[in-house]
Structure 1
Amino acid sequence: MTHPLSVQLYSVRDLLPDDRDGVLRRIAEIGFGAVEPFQPTADPHGFRKVADDLGLTVSSVHAITLLDGDAEAEAVFEAAAVLGTDLVIVPAGIPEQEFTTAEGLARTAETLNALAGKAAAHGQRIGYHNHWWEFEPQVGGRHALEALAGLLAPEVFLEIDTYWAAVAGADVPQVLGRLGDRVRALHVKDGPVVKGEPHTAVGAGAMPVPAILAAAPADAWRIVELDTCATDVMDAVAASHSYLSALEAQA
């Protein structure tokens, strides 16, 4: 692993409004070296100062507003530059039905490729983050996301949400092997691999985490996320860090 472990801040979204700086401090104290914001245009200068003071880098940013027009996209690119990352990710917002046909995939690729051209003007790259609906459909005999990858410009990368891919029935290590260096980041998650059930700390669920990490590019960011959690979420974030750090030590 060539990057520090990161955590998607959506995991702690309920805690951030009341004490953003305290949450970031706790994440740094747990041992994470990076974070992935999901609202990058919200006080990027203030966020960067706190992160720098805590020794946290920004691995990447999620921004659904990338799809809301040129002005909104430009604001995201400018915020990402302030935050110090060149990886800007579309986390959702493309209609699910676009992943069910070849024509829909072509339109999706056109959208992402156009954004990539705009990002390049800022020295940044566009990525796409999946849920289950990009893996469940088969298009041309392949998972829709894999079919999409063949239509994307080389500079567009993928952030594979390993949990949602598994929920959709994908063999995640095999998928990662096929996608290769197209994958620049992973969401490392765990749980019962059932839609609608809460996630667990990484290492406490049914995901084959060691096999997944072994199949991923060594220089892809490893980013912990819990969409939901039945236990204290900060405890689960800390347990995830402990488990992944132990795996890294054994590698």
Structure 2
Amino acid sequence: MVKPLGVQLYSVRDRMRSERDKVLTRIAEIGYGAVEPYDPLDDPEGFRRVTADLGLLVPATHASALLGQEPARVLDAVAAIGAGLVIVPAGIPEEDFTTRDGVARAADLLNGLAEQAARYGLRLGYHNHWWEIEPRIDGVHAIEALAGLLAPEVFLEIDTYWATVGGADAPALLRRLGDRVLALHVKDGPGVKGEPHTAVGEGVMPVPDILAAAPGAWRIVELDECATDVVDALARSHAHLAGLEAA
């Protein structure tokens, strides 16, 4: 089955707080077939009803609360949403990615959470920013050192934009990580910290090469901060990515 394009709902977080159902409806109208929530604790049963009614898949959810709350409560909510993948999007100290011992601590934490997630039939993953890319451990990006210490069931969701900002050749990184990568965050922009993102296809990212490097991964559009209206940018992103798939 071809995996449908998805949206990380953090992109529209302000509108989700005030008009969730309307925003989800618009995402479905644009043509997206999947969404990735960022807070599974926010009305998981209601969220599942709305997405099911709209025909939106929910393959994965971010769950930063796993690092700050009782994991069982968070995993119960993820299961209620119906996602099969639960992702730690941040929260591990950035300095842990600057030394081998720190990376080992991060791996131990994620491996332990993965064991708990497995009891719910869920698979745990980790999502990068630039701080897991910039440091090098034994000659490789810290995210690669982390991958080498993770249990086989722990996957990665590679944010291709932050990987590039952190100094990686994103397509080459994806090829090296191989099957460890189950999902991509696809975004675009000027490729520097502190600047807003653009619609996919309107920035500096080598999007076709990135997609070709991880052909089986979920493709999830995220625009953390957008230079234009974010919903319009999501629509342009979808049109660009759909055009690449049709080419």
* TM-score normalized with structure 1 length: 0.97
1:141 equivalent in structure 2: 139
Tell me, in whole angstroms, the C-alpha distance in 2 between the residues paired with 1:90 and 1:18: 25
Q: Name the aligned partner's letter for residue 145 of structure 1.
A: I
2 CA distance for matches of 1:79 and 1:48?
Answer: 10
For 1:111, the aligned partner's letter is L
Counterpart in the other structure of 1:31: 31
Alignment partner for residue 105 of structure 1, among 103, 106, 109?
103
Q: 1:167 aligns with which of 160, 165, 168?
A: 165
Q: Distance in 2 between matches of 1:37 and 1:7?
A: 9
Report the equivalent of 2:7. Answer: 7
CA shift, 1:82, in A, is 1.5
Letter of the structure 2 residue corresponding to residue 120 of structure 1: A
Contact 1:6 1:59 in 2 (8 A): no
Deviation of the 1:92 alpha carbon: 0.4
Distance 1:138 1:27 in 2: 38
Counterpart in the other structure of 1:228: 225
What's the offset of the Cα at 1:230?
A: 1.3
How far 1:171 sits from its partner (Å)?
Answer: 0.3
CA distance in 2, matches of 1:134, 1:102: 12
Q: Which residue of 2 aligns with 1:56?
A: 56
Q: 1 CA distance for matches of 2:177 and 2:12?
A: 30
SS in 2 for 1:230: coil
1:225 & 1:211 partners in 2: Cα distance?
Answer: 18
Displacement of 1:173? 0.6
Please name the residue that 2:245 is paired with: 248
Q: Which runs of 5+ in 1 are unaligned?
A: none
- Shift of residue 76, structure 1, vs aligned partner: 1.8
> One-letter code of the match for 1:97?
E
Once the two structures are TM-superposed, the CA of residue 2 in structure 1 deviates from its matched residue by: 2.4
Per the TM alignment, residue 57 of structure 1 is displaced from its structure 2 partner at its CA by 1.0
- Alpha-carbon shift at residue 91 of structure 1 (Å): 0.3
Q: How does 1:149-188 map to 2 (within 5 A)?
A: 149-188=147-186
Query: Number of residues paired by the alignment?
Result: 247
Shift of residue 182, structure 1, vs aligned partner: 0.1
Q: Identify the range of structure 1 (159-168 vs 57-66) with the bigger mean alpha-carbon deviation.
A: 57-66
Identity of matched residues, %: 67
Distance 2:18 2:67 in 1: 28
2:189 corresponds to: 191
CA distance in 2, matches of 1:198, 1:59: 27
Q: Tell me the amino acid that sits aligned with residue 245 of structure 1.
A: A
**Aligned residue type for 2:240:** Y
2:169 corresponds to which letter in structure 1?
A: D
1:88 match:
86
Q: CA deviation at 1:37?
A: 0.3
The Cα shift of 1:34 comes to 0.6
Superposed CA RMSD: 0.9
Q: Which runs of 5+ in 2 are unaligned?
A: none
Amino acid at match of 1:51: T
Give the superposition deviation at 1:59. Answer: 2.1
Equivalents in 1 of 2:246, 2:78: separation in Å? 31
One-letter amino acid matched to 2:154: V
Deviation of 1:80 (Å)? 1.5
Aligned pairs (5 A) from 1:115-126:
115-126=113-124
Q: Which amino acid aligns with 2:202?
A: A
